[in-house]
Structure 1
Amino acid sequence: MAKRVVYLYKDKNICIIPTAKVEQLKRAAEALFREYKHHKATRVEFNRKLKTLYRLLGPWTRIPWERL
Structure 2
Amino acid sequence: MCILHLLPHEEGNQLVTAKNGSDTIHYTYDKDGDLVYMVLNGALCYYERNAQNDIIGLVGVLLTAT
Q: Which band: TM-score by shorter chain?
A: under 0.3
Which one has a larger percent strand, Structure 1 or Structure 2?
Answer: 2
Q: Provide TM-score, normalisation by structure 2.
A: 0.24
Which one has a larger percent helix, Structure 1 or Structure 2?
Answer: 1
Q: Provide TM-score, normalisation by structure 1.
A: 0.24
The structure with the largest alpha-carbon Rg is 1
